Amino acid sequence: MTKQPRRSVLYMPANNARALEKAQTIKADSFVFDLEDAVSEQDKVSAREQAVQAANLDVYFGREIMIRVNGIGTPWFEGDVAAIAGSGAQALVVPKIESADDIVAVRTELAKIDRADMPLFAMLETPMAFLNAGEIAQSVGPAGGLMIGTNDLEKELGISHRTDRLNIMTALQTAILAAKAYGLGVLDGVYSNFQDKDGLTAECEQGRILGFDGKTLIHPSQVDAANQAFGPSDDDLREAKAIVEAFNKATAEGKGMATVDGRMIEALHAKQAQALIDFATTLSLDQN
């Protein structure tokens, strides 16, 4: 099954009606209508209503709509979950998840309105979250995934941001391993300086190499860089098609392996190449 494209996942403040409307014209794969960090306490309820109303509209041309709720234990959590689970949003994003028990708490709220199976994205933002990444990923369920909150993690660790991210690399790789072990999507944290295009491009490339499926973003100007970094290039596709063609030919001749440009090709390589071709086809269909 072809995976849901999430190369670019753009946060949009749910209390900003113009931003939600503008999202209709932005070529991000997914949007996160945010009820948490981007919204002041006095606007929480009205932002919730606005996010739900927007998610119910068929104006985003098939783009995935997620809504980030306020955290477990806040005065708005239960109301957020109930409202969003009854909306047209495809997934619920929950901040500050630290254990499997937190996922159970979310599922319990969802079960009250018969939506216990709603896809969840758990945000890992604290040291405890990364220490428990495996149990969290196992509890999330295959339709959901993990999102990384790098800014909060750096704050919790008492460290400054490094462009190479060596000081949080263990946490990033731990989350990726946990997600992939349980068949989940996993999304890299935001790049805060939206005017630094070169820095964003480098961090997107690093995230792709590490194994992230895409990047969460804070500004529409960041979308193109993420789409390019996490999508297949023309060279990638040419190579993938050559691998599949060569392996299929070898299989038809009763051979278990093929050779492409001096590289030995086995079934696992052909499967990986076909997945890339299928993903590119999905992206092409989405753009039509």
Query: What is the per-residue pLDDT for 2?
Result: 53
Considering only 80-94, 213-227, 256-270, which range has the smallest mean pLDDT? 256-270
Computed over every residue of the chain, the mean pLDDT equals 93
Exposed / middle / buried, residue 210 (Cβ in 10 Å: 0-12, 13-18, 19+): middle
Task: Check whether 288 has a pLDDT greater than 60.
Answer: no
Query: What is the per-residue pLDDT for 286?
Result: 62
Tens digits of residue pLDDT in 125-160 = 999 999 999 999 999 998 899 999 999 999 999 999
Q: How many angstroms separate the Cα of 5 from the Cα of each of 173, 181, 217, 267, 284?
A: 21, 19, 15, 24, 11
What percentage of the chain has pLDDT greater than the value 70? 98
Tens digits of residue pLDDT in 182-237 = 999 999 999 999 999 999 999 999 999 999 999 999 999 999 999 999 998 788 88
Query: What is the per-residue pLDDT for 52?
Result: 96
What's 8-230's CATH class? alpha beta
Task: Check whether 1 has a pLDDT greater than 50.
Answer: no
SS (H, E, C) the chain: CCCCCCCEEEEEECCCHHHHHHHHHCCCCEEEEECCCCCCHHHHHHHHHHHHHHHCCCCCCCCEEEEECCCCCCCCHHHHHHHHHCCCCCEEEECCCCCHHHHHHHHHHHHCCCCCCCCEEEEECCHHHHHCHHHHHHHHCCCCEEEECHHHHHHHHCCCCCCCCHHHHHHHHHHHHHHHHCCCEEEECCCCCCCCHHHHHHHHHHHHHHCCCEEEECCHHHHHHHHHHHCCCHHHHHHHHHHHHHHHHHHHCCCCCEEECCEEECHHHHHHHHHHHHHHHHHHHHHC
Rg (CA), the chain: 20
Query: What is the per-residue pLDDT for 116?
Result: 92
Judge whether 49 and 25 are in contact, CB under 8 Å. Answer: no
Token pair, residue 158, equals 């008492």
Q: Span 103-108, mean pLDDT?
A: 96
Tens digits of residue pLDDT in 42-85 = 999 999 999 999 999 988 888 999 999 999 999 999 999 999 99
pTM for the full predicted model:
0.89
